């Protein structure tokens, strides 16, 4: 077995691991990257990229149905699902070279395509190599969870790792889980011609502000997606040769839902199996590898980043984690995770975007919180594009500091970043009110919401008296 002594060993070639490896190599640091599966990880192969490509196809189909709003004859699109499948995989193929073994080898990274496991606190074994690095980075990501439902093992269950392999459109897609993944894929398939039912044990999009989530759920229902909330799946069974029957318990009693395909979108689990973390004295929780606010594990030589670190499971968080640990890895500088600036977006239509505290969270920890709203229906660009469903909602402290922002509407994900910056820099509504967005853009709704903070000032007798007094001087 050959012994390698790189400066950094990265385990996992998803978004987090690739970011660390590429950046470290750019500074001339010796890096070994170990990956047992596909380069690019979940985001490229099973997550963000294919799902957004499928969503884009669904959006095109829906635009054809809704063309009458613009004086154009609407048509029901003829969907060739095999070609939709081709579109999704063409997008993956177009991006894949950026994450390939060849590219990273050219950058100076030694890529080992094998399973990695810790042999002790400072040694990783992968294939024919023993790796003794100065620092290790575990970035092995997460995988979909299949809940222990009776009968689940007797049917062919789809997850986000397999649904993009379908070349024939599902007749009736039953989705277990009403979180972001379930909602996004449900709407996309409905727009592409499938019947769709979502089954959620509590409230669909339950993590989101109910006011904000309500816009999206109403849109899904109007498009024909059946959403059953407060419904517990008790059993599943095969129906006929290829179908599925889902048994559900609700407040009204037992029901069944029959479908052709079953998608499980009921959460994710960290990929830690086979790593032999105990040998490296790395502690685990039920959410993943335990890390401190600097993303360091119980073993000071080892960092854990991205999904496996047990925090928010987003690709941009993986990139954020990578940027943070590069500071101590390369420059011995300290860096801490700031969860308040991490945005999240559900890419349904209308999109949901959130950063910082929600209204309920802010009310629970702050006094004198003010909620500022501005509807998309009052936005000129939204009117021009006939996309007026939604609003911007700013959560502000008693002194005007921005605590959080929620946006629902077209392009909400493109708008939310500004408010993460405002929170991170301690900005207030005065700063947002002075921001100059171009006209006409939907981003103006945030500025209008901020200006609403000062609306009461215009009615104060003292202020009006001051204005009258100043007129004396010409």
Distance CA(223)–CA(263), nearest Å, equals 19
Q: Residue 72 has what pLDDT?
A: 98
130 annotated ligand binder = no
410: Cα separation from own chain's centroid: 17
Asked whether residue 180 is marked as a ligand-binding residue, the answer is yes
Domains of the chain, with CATH numbers? 2-39+100-144+269-337 (3.50.50.60), 152-267 (3.50.50.60), 341-455 (3.30.390.30)
351 is in an annotated binding site: no
The answer to whether 201 is a known ligand-binding residue is no
The annotation status of 396 as a binding-site residue, yes or no, is no
Q: What is the pLDDT of residue 214?
A: 97
142 is an annotated ligand-binding site residue: yes
For residue 41, say whether it is annotated as part of any ligand binding site: no
310 is in an annotated binding site: no
206, 235 contact by CB (below 8 A) = no
Query: Is 367 marked as a binding-site residue?
Result: no
Question: Both tokens of residue 306?
Answer: 């991205």
Residue 181 counted as an annotated binding residue: yes
224 is in an annotated binding site: no
According to DSSP, the β-strands at 195-199 and 172-176 are parallel
Determine the pLDDT at residue 404.
98
**What pLDDT, on the 0 to 100 scale, is given for residue 1?**
87
| pLDDT recorded at residue 164 | 97
Q: Is 78 annotated as a binding residue?
A: no
Annotated binding-site residue? 385: no
Q: What pLDDT does residue 464 have?
A: 84
Give the model's pLDDT for residue 473: 86
Q: Mean pLDDT in runs of 10 for the chain (474 residues)?
A: 97 97 98 97 94 98 97 97 98 97 98 98 97 98 96 95 97 98 98 98 96 98 98 96 94 95 96 97 95 97 97 95 97 95 98 97 96 97 97 96 98 97 96 95 95 84 84 84
CA–CA–CA angle 397, 358, 197 (5° rounding):
165
Q: Is 115 annotated as a binding residue?
A: no
Task: Return the pLDDT at 13.
Answer: 97
């Amino acid at each position: 077995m050959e012994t390698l002594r790189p400066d950094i060993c990265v385990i996992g070639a998803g978004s987090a691991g690739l970011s660390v490896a590429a950046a470290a190599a750019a500074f001339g640091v010796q890096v070994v990257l170990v990956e047992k599966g596909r380069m690019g990880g979940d985001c490229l192969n099973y997550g963000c990229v294919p799902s957004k490509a499928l969503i884009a196809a669904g959006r095109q189909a829906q635009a054809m149905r809704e063309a009458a709003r613009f004086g154009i004859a609407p048509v029901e699109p003829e969907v060739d699902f095999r070609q939709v499948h081709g579109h999704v995989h063409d997008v993956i193929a177009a991006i894949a070279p950026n994450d390939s073994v060849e590219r990273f080898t050219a950058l100076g990274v030694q890529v080992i395509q094998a399973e990695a496991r810790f042999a002790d606190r400072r040694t990783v074994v992968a294939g024919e190599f023993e790796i003794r690095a100065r620092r290790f980075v575990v970035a092995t990501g997460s995988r979909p969870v299949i809940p222990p439902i009776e009968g689940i093992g007797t049917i062919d269950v789809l997850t986000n790792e397999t649904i993009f392999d379908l070349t024939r459109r599902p007749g009736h897609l039953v989705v277990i889980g009403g979180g972001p993944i379930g909602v996004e894929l449900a709407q996309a398939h409905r727009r592409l011609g499938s019947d769709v039912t979502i089954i959620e044990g509590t409230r669909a999009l339950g993590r989101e502000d109910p006011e904000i989530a309500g816009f999206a759920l109403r849109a899904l229902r109007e498009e024909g997606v059946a959403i059953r909330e407060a419904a517990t799946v008790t059993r599943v069974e095969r129906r006929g040769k290829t179908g599925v029957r889902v048994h559900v318990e609700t407040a009204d009693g037992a029901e069944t839902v029959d479908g052709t395909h079953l998608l499980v979108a009921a959460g994710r689990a960290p990929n830690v199996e086979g790593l032999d973390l105990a040998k490296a004295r790395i502690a685990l929780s039920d959410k993943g590898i335990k890390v401190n606010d600097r993303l360091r594990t119980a073993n000071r030589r080892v960092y854990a980043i991205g999904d496996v670190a047990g925090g928010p499971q987003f690709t941009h968080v993986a990139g954020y984690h990578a940027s943070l640990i590069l500071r101590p890895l390369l420059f011995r500088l300290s860096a801490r995770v700031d969860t308040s600036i991490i945005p999240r977006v559900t890419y349904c239509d209308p999109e949901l975007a959130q950063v910082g505290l929600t209204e309920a969270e802010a009310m629970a920890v702050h006094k004198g919180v003010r909620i500022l709203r501005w509807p998309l229906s009052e936005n000129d660009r939204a009117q021009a594009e006939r996309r007026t469903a939604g609003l911007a909602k700013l959560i502000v402290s008693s002194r005007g500091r921005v605590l959080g922002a929620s946006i629902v509407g077209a392009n909400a994900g493109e708008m939310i970043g500004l408010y993460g910056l405002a929170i991170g820099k301690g900005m207030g509504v005065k700063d947002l009110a002075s921001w100059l967005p171009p006209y006409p853009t939907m981003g103006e709704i945030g500025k209008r919401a901020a200006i609403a903070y000062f609306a009461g000032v215009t009615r104060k007798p003292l202020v009006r008296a001051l204005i009258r007094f100043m007129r004396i001087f010409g």
